[in-house]
Structures are given as C-alpha cells and as structure tokens.
C-alpha cells in the first residue's frame, strides 16, 4: 500500500514533498520513523516505519525459563515495566493454578498504580515539550523522582524492576514502603493541581489540543486503540474493570472515559487517571495483609502443555500475553499484544489533514513508547 502512495506522489502533484521524521527526531520519543507527506505545512498522509529497536524479545523468550524471561518484558514498555512483568506472571500462575497470597496481590496492585502515575507523569512532561512548553518537563520529573525513589528503595532499580516473579514477588517490599507511599500520595495531591495551572488552563494549550486528532469510537475500536487513548474516545476498554486481576476487584474506582475524542480528551483522561490511581493506592495501602511475599514455587517452572492467555492494563493500554507451552521449562512460543503497536497505526487517520505541529501533538497524546512497538 505504501509503495502505491509513494508512486502516486511521484507522478502526482509537485507541491507535495516527503519528509522523514525520525528515527532521530526529538518528538518521536525514540527511534520511530514517520514518513510524512506534506503539502505546505499540512500532512497529507504518513507512513510509520518501525523496527529500529527490534530486539526479538518474543524469540528470545523461547530460549529462557519463565523466571528469566520476566527481565525481557521490562524492556518492552519500559515506562510500565511492572505491568509487563505482571502480565507474564499472571499467565504462568494461571497455567500452574497457583494460589498467590493476598499480600502479593495488594502489593502488585499498588505498584501497578504507582507505575501508572510515574508513566503518566513522564507522558505529561513529554507532551508539554511536544507543544513547546518546556517547563512542564521539569515539573513532571520532579514528582516522578519521588516514585522512583520508592521503587529504588524496594527493588534496587528505578525503571526496569523485574520485581514481580511467577508466584509472587522477588522479595518483600522495604519496611518503609507503606510510609513513603503514603507520603508521596499526600505530596502529589498537592502538586497535581500545579500541572493544571501550568498547562491545562493555558489558552494556547487548549487551542492547540482541542479539536485536533479526532478519533471516533468506531476508529478506536477498529484500530484496537486501548488505554487512555482509547478511553478518550469513550471506548470502555479498561482491563482492570473488564477482567479484574490482582486486588482490583477489592477497590472502588471509576473507569475514566472522555467524550471529546480529541487530543484534549486524551489529555484529560490521563490527568484524571492520575487522581484515580491515587484513590486506588489509598484504599489499599493501609490494608496490606501480612503474609508471605510469594507462593511456594518450584525452582524450575514447567508449564503443562497448552495455550495460555492473560491480559493486563498497562499505562498505555491493553497488554496481552499468549504463551504456547509444550511442557518444557521454556515456552514453545510467546506472543505479546502490545498496546503501542495498535495505538501507533491510528496516527495516519488522526493526523491526516492537520498541520505538522498538530501531528506532533497528536502523536504525543497517543503516548507512544517505541520499544514496545518493536519488541
């Protein structure tokens, strides 16, 4: 299809020109290459070229035991590393039918939400940068640092934790975990309104974000756009609600849905999700039950032959893991359905007809993480 279009342009109107955005471009958030056809400043169409950071994670998984391949999943969507880990672990636990302790479920859910907040904070930083508001970057990173400190204290790593293991956790959380998390929630409840003051209420920002990148509910469903991007189009796709895992069935929370379907709606959904995540953490943090940090697991995990499927909600959408096992200690085939892959390919539909500046804003509002697309 892409060749056809290119040929069309070659013989077509001379005013069109093609510009390569990326792989080294400040706003493609990684090594994504967008082949953008422009007429003046207006985007006619764009073709995403992926694969610049393809590492063959799915293939590598076939050579690793289940404990080992957890560490590879971190490297997909590195901003929701915890959810990626959890997806595989849930799949393995399902297959083995292990009953994991309540404590583990609670801690996993809290970590999920902390990770989601950290991810949305970084998205907010980068989205502001995309629109040229350079100060937002430092406000977001300032608060994200607090979450990363909590992570560092408990897991020793800040970004790629690999803390969740099949059957439970790598080890118990740090004794300070509860206290520091509560401190963070208290701190961030004060700081989050600053985000609105700096960016949301700004008239330039609203003019830049409102009414561009319209994604109807049908488009979102058609392209499989999930996560906050899909929910901005009123598409109820939150796996935490549809198929609760961890402790999500024990907490009260709202699925944030936007009706604007535009960039601003997606922005608002993410901002509201940060508030909602804090609510979830607050409900859980005081009630973490005592107990073991892991279920009894054999040192070598062998899944019974068969196919297993689990999905979780990462900060960017629905991550699904599909494992085919032939009874060995390594999976026969492993397939990840990563959210960013689907979210990326709707970009052409959203950005066509808009200006270059809008293309950047729209791709920013989809919150793409490129290693997650390429795997």
Partner 1 sequence: MSSNLYDFSTLTGSIHAALSGMMSSGWVVFTELVLIGLLFLLFYALLGLFLVYLERKVCAIIQNRVGPNRVGKWGLLQTIADLIKLLLKELIPIRKADPILFNLAPFIVILASFMAMAALPFAKGLQAVDFNIGVFYVMAVSSLGVVGILLAGWSSNSKYSLIGAIRSGAQIVSYELSVGLSILAIVVFSGTMQLSGIVESQADGWWLFKGHIPALIAFVIFLIASTAEINRGPFDLAEAESELTAGFHTEYSGIKFAFFFLAEYINMFIVAAIGATVFLGGWMPFHIGNWEGFNHIMNYIPSIVWFFLKTFFIVYLIMWFKWTFPRLRIDQLLTLEWKYLLPISLVNIVFIAFIVLMGWHF
List of residues contacting partner 1 (CB under 8 A): 17, 19, 25-27, 41, 128-135, 137-139, 142, 198-199, 202, 204-205, 207-208, 355-358, 360
CB nearer to partner 1: pick between 24 and 216: 24
Do 28 and 126 touch, CB atoms closer than 8 A? no
CB nearer to partner 1: pick between 27 and 226: 27
CB nearer to partner 1: pick between 60 and 356: 356
First to last CA, the chain: 24
CB nearer to partner 1: pick between 41 and 307: 41
Q: Count H helices and E strands in the chain, helices first.
A: 16, 8
Residue 49 phi/psi, 5-degree rounding, is -110, 120
The verdict on whether omega for the bond into residue 23 sits within 30 degrees of 0, i.e. cis, is: yes
In angstroms, give the least distance from the CB of 128 to partner 1.
7
CB nearer to partner 1: pick between 39 and 179: 39
In angstroms, give the least distance from the CB of 364 to partner 1.
8
In 3D, which of 138, 2, 134, 27 has the Cα closest to residue 370? 27
In angstroms, give the least distance from the CB of 129 to partner 1.
6
CB nearer to partner 1: pick between 26 and 327: 26
Q: Distances from the Cα of 241 to the Cαs of 176, 231, 277, 356, in angstroms? A: 30, 13, 13, 36
CA–chain centroid gap for 165, Å, is 20
In angstroms, give the least distance from the CB of 341 to partner 1.
23
Q: Which residues contact 278 (CB under 8 A, 6 or more apart)?
A: 113, 117, 185, 188, 189
In angstroms, give the least distance from the CB of 304 to partner 1.
50
CB atoms within 10 A of CB 48: 20
CB nearer to partner 1: pick between 177 and 267: 267
Two tokens at 100? Answer: 């994991």
In angstroms, give the least distance from the CB of 6 to partner 1.
16
CB nearer to partner 1: pick between 88 and 126: 126
Q: Distances from the Cα of 369 to the Cαs of 123, 320, 327, in angstroms? A: 10, 16, 33
Two tokens at 292? Answer: 């073991």
Q: Distances from the Cα of 17 to the Cαs of 28, 40, 350, in angstroms? A: 20, 8, 20
CB nearer to partner 1: pick between 137 and 293: 137
Buried b (16+ CB within 10 A) or exposed e, 218-243: ebbeebbbbbbbbbbbbbebbbbeee
3-class SS of residue 234: coil
């Amino acid at each position: 299809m892409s060749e056809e279009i290119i040929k069309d342009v070659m013989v077509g109107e001379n005013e069109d020109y093609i510009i390569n955005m990326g792989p080294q471009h400040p706003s493609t958030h990684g090594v994504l290459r967008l082949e953008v056809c422009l007429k003046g400043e207006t985007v006619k169409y764009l073709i995403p070229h992926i694969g610049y950071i393809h590492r063959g994670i799915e293939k590598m998984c076939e050579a690793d035991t289940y404990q080992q391949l957890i560490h590879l999943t971190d490297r997909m969507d590195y901003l929701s590393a915890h959810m990626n880990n959890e997806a595989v672990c849930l799949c393995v636990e399902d297959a083995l039918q292990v009953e994991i302790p309540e404590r583990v479920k609670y801690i996993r859910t809290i970590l999920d939400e902390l990770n989601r907040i950290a991810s949305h904070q970084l998205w907010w930083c980068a989205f502001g940068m995309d629109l040229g508001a350079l100060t937002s970057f430092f406000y977001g990173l300032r608060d994200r640092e607090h979450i990363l400190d909590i992570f560092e204290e408990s897991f020793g790593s800040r970004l790629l934790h690999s803390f969740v293991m099949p059957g439970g956790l790598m080890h118990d959380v740090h004794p300070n975990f509860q206290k520091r998390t509560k401190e963070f929630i208290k701190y961030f409840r004060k700081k989050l309104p600053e985000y609105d003051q700096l960016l949301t209420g700004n008239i330039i920002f609203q003019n830049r974000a409102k009414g561009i990148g319209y994604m109807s509910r049908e488009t979102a469903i058609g392209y499989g756009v999930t996560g906050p991007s899909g929910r901005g189009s009123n598409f109820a796709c939150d796996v935490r609600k549809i198929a609760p895992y961890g402790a999500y069935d024990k907490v009260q929370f709202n699925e944030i849905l936007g009706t604007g379907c535009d960039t601003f709606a997606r922005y608002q959904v993410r901002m509201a999700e940060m508030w909602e995540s804090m609510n979830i953490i607050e409900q859980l943090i005081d009630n973490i039950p005592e107990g073991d940090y892991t279920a009894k697991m054999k040192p070598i995990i062998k899944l019974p032959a068969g196919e297993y499927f689990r999905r979780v909600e990462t900060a960017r959408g629905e991550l699904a893991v599909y494992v085919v096992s032939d009874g060995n200690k390594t999976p026969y085939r492993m397939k990840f359905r990563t959210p960013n892959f689907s979210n990326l390919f709707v970009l052409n539909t959203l950005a066509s007809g808009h200006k270059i500046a809008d293309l950047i804003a729209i791709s920013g509002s989809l919150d793409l993480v490129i290693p997650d697309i390429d795997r």
